[in-house]
Structure 1
């Protein structure tokens, strides 16, 4: 179980925070970059984010945790369809990192930056 959550943590970091904008503390990841693609980038990244929910379900996370995870993805997805605001939301909201934190909290794991 802990190895699976660690793998999700690394994937969330890649999707949400792998790149630091030079001269700032702002971090973004593949989600922000792929989300810029017109047509389906945001939809594709929302589908990737659902992988976290699927893994949480396989770990037998309770329904309230799964529901919060889906809610985080929906919020980011809805904001993502608005030009410019969606790009800012990708950088600020970081649904995948939030969802990993929910799993860490539920399973009593320490948080890592």
Structure 2
């Protein structure tokens, strides 16, 4: 995994930062045997309370960057609701850990950002290889 963090305030740089954060939180590595990608969100969520707070903060970063892109308030509220729901259910011992593995709020939020940018800033679209 190669990270070249763009530091600009332009739309393309913000999009790349959001995509990188989503990858770190949801798809950092693959669990051998089941070939299921997991990331920091699932791992740090195993630490009671503190892990969930850290994961919430990292998910909130994606929402903050989306705000910097000028997404409408209703989309930001939907993204915040995804993070809040993930945090609330993720805080439940054991059940929350399984839920974190299945409900990927950061991936959902990336999808909202990409859909917005593909419509309003199509020049930022990157074709995955």
Correspondence list, 1:86-97, <5 A: 86-97=96-107
Larger Rg: 2
Q: How does 1:1-113 map to 2 (within 5 A)?
A: 1-108=11-118, 109=125
Cα RMSD of the aligned pairs, angstroms, is: 1.7
Q: How far did residue 101 of structure 1 move?
A: 1.0
The whole-number CA distance in structure 1 between the counterparts of 2:64 and 2:127 is 21
CA positional deviation for 1:26: 1.6
Question: Is the CA contact 1:104–1:111 (under 8 Å) kept in the aligned structure 2?
Answer: no
CA deviation after TM superposition for structure 1 residue 94, in Å = 1.1
Unaligned runs of 5+ in 1: none
TM-score (structure 1 length as normaliser): 0.90
Higher relative contact order (CA 8 A, sep 6+): 1
> Number of matched residues?
113
Contact 1:27–1:91 (CA under 8 A) maintained in structure 2: no
CA distance in 1, matches of 2:60, 2:128: 22
Unaligned regions of 5+ residues in structure 2, if any?
1-10, 119-124
